Structure 1
Amino acid sequence: MHQRSMITRHPLTIALFASLIAVSSPVLAQDAPTSLDRVTVTGSLIPQTEIETHTPVLTVTAEDIQTRGFTSVADVLQQSSLTTGGLQGGQTSASFTQGAEAAGMFGLSPGYTKYLINGRPMLAYPALYNGSDSFNNISGIPIDIVDRIEILPGGQSSLYGSDAIAGVVNIILKDRLDGGSINVRGGAYSEGGGSNFRFSVAKGFTSADERLNVLVNAQYEKTSPIWGYQRDLTKVNNPDGYSPQYVSNDFLVLQPDNENRYAMMDPNLCANVAGQFGGTTVLGTRPTGQACGSIYGTGYKTIKNGKESSQIYSSLTFDVNDNFQLFGDALVNLEEVQYATGSNYTWWGTSAGWGAFYDQGSDQYLNLQRVFAPEDIGPNGYKDILNTDRNKAYQVTLGGRGSAGNWDYSASFSRGEYKLTERGFVRWADPIDSYFEDHVLGPVLGVDDDGYNIYNPNWEAFYAPMPAGDFQSFTGYSYSESRTWQNLGRVQLTNGSLFSLPGGDAGFAVVVEGGSEGWDYSPDPGLVDGSVWGTTAVSGAGHRSNYAVTSELRLPLLDSLTVTASGRYDAFKIQDSTIDKATYSVGVEFRPIESLLFRGKYGTAFRAPTLADAFQGMSGYYANSSTDYYRCGQLGYDPANTLGCPYDNESVFGVQSGNPDLEPITADVWNAGIVWAPLNNLSFSVDYYNWKIKNEVNTLSSDQLLLAEYYCRNGLSNNTSASCDNVADWVTRDGAGVLDEIYTPKMNVASQNLQALTASFKYVQDMGRFGALQFSGNYTNMLERELQPQPGDDYLDLLGDPYAMWIYDSYAKVRADGSVAWAKGDWTTTLYANYIGKTPNYMAYLGNGYDYIHPSGYKAGKWGSYTTYNLSVNYRAMENLTLSLMVNNVFNKMPDNQRYSFAGTSGQPYNNYLYNAYGRAIYVQAKYEFGAK
Structure 2
Amino acid sequence: MKKLTFILFVLSVCFGFSQQTVTGVIRDADGSPLPGVNIIEKGTSNGATTDFDGKYSIDVSNAESILIFSYVGFNTQEISVNSKTVIDVTLASGAQLEEIILVGSRALPRSNTTSSLPVDVLPANELVSTGQITFDKALQYKIPSFNTVQTPVNDATSLLDPYEIRNMGPSRTLILVNGKRKNLSALLYTQTSPGRGETGADISAIPTDAIKRVEILRDGASAQYGSDAIAGVMNIVLKDNPEEGSVTFRSGITSEGDGETIGISLNNGAKIGDDKGFFNYTIDFSKVSLANRPGDVDAEGEFSDFGGTRVGERLEDIRDFLSRRPDAGNINGSPETAASKFLVNGGYDISENTEIYMNAAYVYKKVNSFANFRTPYWRDIQDFPYLADFFPNGPGGSYEGYLPTFEGDLNDYNATVGFKTKKNGWNYDLSYTTGGNTQTYSVNNTHNGNSVLSPLTWNDANNDGIVDPGEVIGGADLYRERSPISFDPGGTRFSHNVGNIDIAKLLSDQVSIGFGAEFRNETFEIIEGDLASYDGGGSDSFAGNRPENSGKFNRYNFGGYFDISADITEDFLVNGTIRLEDYSDFGEAFVWKLSSRYKFLEDKLTLRASVSTGFRAPTLHQIFTQRAQFSFVPGQGIQVGGLINNVSPQARLLDIPQLDAEESTNITVGIGAKINRNINFTIDYYNIAVDDRIVLSTEIGATAAGNTPLDDVLTDNNLSDVSFFVNAIDTRTSGIDLVANYKNIELGTGKLGFSLSGNYTLENERDGDVKNPALVAQAGQSVVNDTQEALFFTSRPEFKAILGANYDIGKFGFSLNNTLFGPTKFRNQGLQDLEGLVGGDAADSDGGSDLGVEFMTKVVTDLAINYSATDKLTIALNVNNILDVLPEWEFEALTPTGTAVLNDPAAEKTAFNLITFNGRYSQMSYDGYHFSQLGTMINLSLNYKL
TM-score, structure 1 as length reference: 0.75
2:624 is aligned with 1:615: yes
Once residues 653 and 369 of structure 1 are traced to their aligned partners in structure 2, the CA distance between those partners, rounded to angstroms, is 28
Once residues 269 and 785 of structure 1 are traced to their aligned partners in structure 2, the CA distance between those partners, rounded to angstroms, is 48
1:138-189 CA-partner distances (Å, limit 9, x unpaired):
2211111211122222321001101111211112221223242111111111
Give the CA deviation at 1:342.
3.1
Opposite residue 623 of structure 2, the aligned amino acid is: A
Equivalent of 2:819, from 831, 834, 844?
834
Equivalent of 2:770, from 774, 787, 790?
790
Alpha carbons 1:186, 1:198 under 8 Å: kept:
yes
1:863-902 alignment to 2 at 5 Å? Answer: 863-896=855-888, 898=890
The structure-2 alpha-carbon separation of the partners of 1:209 and 1:306, relative to structure 1 and needing over 3 Å to count, comes to same
The structure-2 alpha-carbon separation of the partners of 1:353 and 1:657, relative to structure 1 and needing over 3 Å to count, comes to farther
Once residues 491 and 392 of structure 1 are traced to their aligned partners in structure 2, the CA distance between those partners, rounded to angstroms, is 28
Once residues 499 and 32 of structure 1 are traced to their aligned partners in structure 2, the CA distance between those partners, rounded to angstroms, is 23
Residue 461 of structure 1 aligns with which residue?
A: none
Give the CA deviation at 1:758.
1.3
Alpha carbons 1:86, 1:913 under 8 Å: kept:
no
Alpha carbons 1:695, 1:748 under 8 Å: kept:
yes
Equivalent of 2:806, from 805, 809, 821?
821
Once residues 480 and 217 of structure 1 are traced to their aligned partners in structure 2, the CA distance between those partners, rounded to angstroms, is 31
Q: Which deviates further from its counterpart, 164-173 or 477-486?
A: 477-486
Once residues 695 and 842 of structure 1 are traced to their aligned partners in structure 2, the CA distance between those partners, rounded to angstroms, is 23
Alpha carbons 1:540, 1:615 under 8 Å: kept:
no
SS in 2 for 1:741: coil
Equivalent of 1:581, from 566, 569, 589?
589
Once residues 491 and 174 of structure 1 are traced to their aligned partners in structure 2, the CA distance between those partners, rounded to angstroms, is 23
Opposite residue 617 of structure 2, the aligned amino acid is: A
Alpha carbons 1:882, 1:926 under 8 Å: kept:
yes
Alpha carbons 2:306, 2:378 under 8 Å: kept:
no
1:454-495 CA-partner distances (Å, limit 9, x unpaired):
xxxxxxxxxxxxxxxx99965222241432111111111111
Once residues 506 and 38 of structure 1 are traced to their aligned partners in structure 2, the CA distance between those partners, rounded to angstroms, is 21
2:163 is aligned with 1:103: yes
Equivalent of 1:547, from 547, 558, 562?
558
Give the CA deviation at 1:604.
0.7
Residue 525 of structure 2 aligns with which residue?
A: 520
Residue 458 of structure 2 aligns with which residue?
A: none
Give the CA deviation at 1:81.
4.7
Residue 655 of structure 1 aligns with which residue?
A: 643
SS in 2 for 1:878: coil
Residue 689 of structure 1 aligns with which residue?
A: 686
Residue 62 of structure 1 aligns with which residue?
A: 124
Once residues 783 and 369 of structure 1 are traced to their aligned partners in structure 2, the CA distance between those partners, rounded to angstroms, is 57
Equivalent of 1:760, from 723, 735, 739?
739
Residue 642 of structure 1 aligns with which residue?
A: none
Equivalent of 2:328, from 297, 304, 308?
297
2:190 is aligned with 1:130: yes
SS in 2 for 1:428: coil
The structure-2 alpha-carbon separation of the partners of 1:384 and 1:587, relative to structure 1 and needing over 3 Å to count, comes to same
Opposite residue 727 of structure 2, the aligned amino acid is: N
The structure-2 alpha-carbon separation of the partners of 1:313 and 1:752, relative to structure 1 and needing over 3 Å to count, comes to same
Residue 906 of structure 1 aligns with which residue?
A: 919
Residue 359 of structure 1 aligns with which residue?
A: none
Give % identity: 19
2:68 is aligned with 1:7: no
Opposite residue 476 of structure 1, the aligned amino acid is: S
Q: Which deviates further from its counterpart, 906-915 or 409-418?
A: 906-915
SS in 2 for 1:343: coil
Once residues 818 and 840 of structure 1 are traced to their aligned partners in structure 2, the CA distance between those partners, rounded to angstroms, is 24
Give the CA deviation at 1:670.
0.9
Residue 631 of structure 1 aligns with which residue?
A: none
Residue 149 of structure 1 aligns with which residue?
A: 214
Opposite residue 74 of structure 1, the aligned amino acid is: D
Once residues 300 and 520 of structure 2 are traced to their aligned partners in structure 1, the CA distance between those partners, rounded to angstroms, is 57
> How many residues of Structure 1 are paired with residues of Structure 2 in the alignment?
773
The structure-2 alpha-carbon separation of the partners of 1:405 and 1:692, relative to structure 1 and needing over 3 Å to count, comes to same
2:317 is aligned with 1:270: yes
Once residues 780 and 755 of structure 1 are traced to their aligned partners in structure 2, the CA distance between those partners, rounded to angstroms, is 10
Residue 366 of structure 2 aligns with which residue?
A: 336
2:910 is aligned with 1:922: no
Opposite residue 339 of structure 2, the aligned amino acid is: S
2:352 is aligned with 1:322: yes
Alpha carbons 1:884, 1:926 under 8 Å: kept:
yes
Equivalent of 1:180, from 245, 262, 265?
245
SS in 1 for 2:874: strand
Residue 45 of structure 2 aligns with which residue?
A: none
Residue 529 of structure 1 aligns with which residue?
A: 535
Opposite residue 644 of structure 2, the aligned amino acid is: Q
Alpha carbons 2:391, 2:400 under 8 Å: kept:
no
SS in 2 for 1:909: coil
1:381-396 alignment to 2 at 5 Å? Answer: 386-396=405-415
Residue 493 of structure 1 aligns with which residue?
A: 503
The structure-2 alpha-carbon separation of the partners of 1:897 and 1:306, relative to structure 1 and needing over 3 Å to count, comes to same
1:816-848 CA-partner distances (Å, limit 9, x unpaired):
222111111221111112111123477999379
Once residues 838 and 866 of structure 1 are traced to their aligned partners in structure 2, the CA distance between those partners, rounded to angstroms, is 8
Alpha carbons 2:449, 2:483 under 8 Å: kept:
no
Alpha carbons 2:346, 2:359 under 8 Å: kept:
yes
Alpha carbons 1:803, 1:846 under 8 Å: kept:
no
1:876-898 CA-partner distances (Å, limit 9, x unpaired):
11111111111111111112565
Alpha carbons 1:799, 1:811 under 8 Å: kept:
no
SS in 2 for 1:524: coil
Give the CA deviation at 1:560.
2.2
2:179 is aligned with 1:119: yes
Opposite residue 162 of structure 2, the aligned amino acid is: A
Give the CA deviation at 1:625.
2.5
2:581 is aligned with 1:570: yes
1:696-736 CA-partner distances (Å, limit 9, x unpaired):
2234312xx45x946x89xxxxxxxxxx97766666599xx
Q: Which deviates further from its counterpart, 677-686 or 818-827?
A: 677-686
Once residues 155 and 346 of structure 1 are traced to their aligned partners in structure 2, the CA distance between those partners, rounded to angstroms, is 53
Give the CA deviation at 1:741.
3.3
Opposite residue 518 of structure 2, the aligned amino acid is: E
TM-score, structure 2 as length reference: 0.74
The structure-2 alpha-carbon separation of the partners of 1:222 and 1:691, relative to structure 1 and needing over 3 Å to count, comes to same
Give the CA deviation at 1:605.
0.9
Once residues 680 and 79 of structure 1 are traced to their aligned partners in structure 2, the CA distance between those partners, rounded to angstroms, is 25
The structure-2 alpha-carbon separation of the partners of 1:32 and 1:886, relative to structure 1 and needing over 3 Å to count, comes to farther
SS in 1 for 2:199: coil
1:2-47 CA-partner distances (Å, limit 9, x unpaired):
655653439xxxxxxxxxxxxxxxxxxxx99636488343222221
SS in 2 for 1:903: helix
Once residues 158 and 318 of structure 1 are traced to their aligned partners in structure 2, the CA distance between those partners, rounded to angstroms, is 31
Opposite residue 890 of structure 1, the aligned amino acid is: I
Residue 718 of structure 1 aligns with which residue?
A: none
Give the CA deviation at 1:621.
1.7
Once residues 347 and 550 of structure 1 are traced to their aligned partners in structure 2, the CA distance between those partners, rounded to angstroms, is 62
Equivalent of 1:254, from 301, 308, 329?
308
Mind listing any 5+ residue stretches in structure 1 that lack a counterpart? 11-30, 229-233, 238-243, 256-261, 282-293, 355-367, 435-469, 627-645, 714-723
The structure-2 alpha-carbon separation of the partners of 1:44 and 1:383, relative to structure 1 and needing over 3 Å to count, comes to farther
The structure-2 alpha-carbon separation of the partners of 1:541 and 1:250, relative to structure 1 and needing over 3 Å to count, comes to farther
Equivalent of 2:138, from 76, 84, 88?
76
The structure-2 alpha-carbon separation of the partners of 1:313 and 1:915, relative to structure 1 and needing over 3 Å to count, comes to same
Once residues 34 and 765 of structure 1 are traced to their aligned partners in structure 2, the CA distance between those partners, rounded to angstroms, is 15
Alpha carbons 1:841, 1:898 under 8 Å: kept:
no
1:272-287 alignment to 2 at 5 Å? Answer: 274=320, 276=321, 280-281=323-324
Once residues 303 and 52 of structure 1 are traced to their aligned partners in structure 2, the CA distance between those partners, rounded to angstroms, is 45
Once residues 94 and 923 of structure 2 are traced to their aligned partners in structure 1, the CA distance between those partners, rounded to angstroms, is 50
